[in-house]
Amino acid sequence: MHIRETDIEGLIILEPRVFKDERGYFFESFRAATFSERGMNAVFIQDNESRSGFGVIRGLHFQKEPHAQSKLVRVVEGSVFDVAVDLRPGSPSFGKWFGLELSAENKTQLLIPKGFAHGFSVLSKQATVIYKCDAYYHPESESGIRYDDPQLAIDWRIDPSMAIVSEKDQALASLEQIMY
């Protein structure tokens, strides 16, 4: 597995070695030893899956301490633009976002450590996203930031007039509001 650092410390891109032949393909999507060798010691205890249609934006979600989650995100159907926002107090990249396309075709994964908000927009007709978490979902710790926060100015790679966002996500606070 090829592992690349991003400009934001702790946010890691994983590109598996894919073995293809006339029957199809095979790849390892996760290997604990590879993570451990790199000092990435998250122990994943919950897998989540979501399926959405074109234009859906989910997020930006996170869980507050002590129930914060690290996530390993990948796409098994379609394509999404995946986004992580650094919310770690004192981080030199606090409030910065990073995004990349994850797809069933490229098989790229994104490791998002605790202290980040996460979201994605669906670029294909349908997309199925699977992510591993190192902490259980805790409803009372759930929080988020508005997808269209002007301070973040995220380019979701879809026409804003085509965005489909839940009422719950539209009601989320701005980055400035969660800071205080």
Sorted by where each begins, the domain ranges of the chain are 2-179
pLDDT > 90 fraction of the chain, expressed in percent and rounded: 87
Say whether pLDDT at 180 is over 80: no
Mean pLDDT of 75-90: 97
pLDDT at 38: 80
Distance from the Cα of residue 175 to its chain's centroid: 17
CATH homologous superfamily for the domain 2-179: Jelly Rolls (2.60.120.10)
Please write the tens of the pLDDT for every residue from 117-165: 999 999 999 999 999 999 999 999 999 999 999 999 999 999 999 999 9
Active site (catalytic) residues: 61, 131
Q: What is the pLDDT of residue 179?
A: 74
Q: CA–CA separation, 25 vs 76, rounded Å?
A: 13
Q: Judging by DSSP bridges, how do beta strands 109-112 and 46-53 pair with one another?
A: unpaired
Are β-strands 142-144 and 57-63 bridged in parallel, bridged antiparallel, or unpaired? antiparallel
pLDDT for 42: 81
Our measurement of the distance from residue 149's CA atom to the centroid of its chain's CA atoms, rounded to an integer in Å, reads 17
pLDDT class for 32, splitting at 50, 70, 90?
confident
pLDDT above 70 (res 88): yes
Exposed/middle/buried for 15, CB within 10 Å: 0-12, 13-18, 19+?
middle
The pTM of this model reads 0.93
- What are 54-65's pLDDT values in tens digits? 999 999 999 999
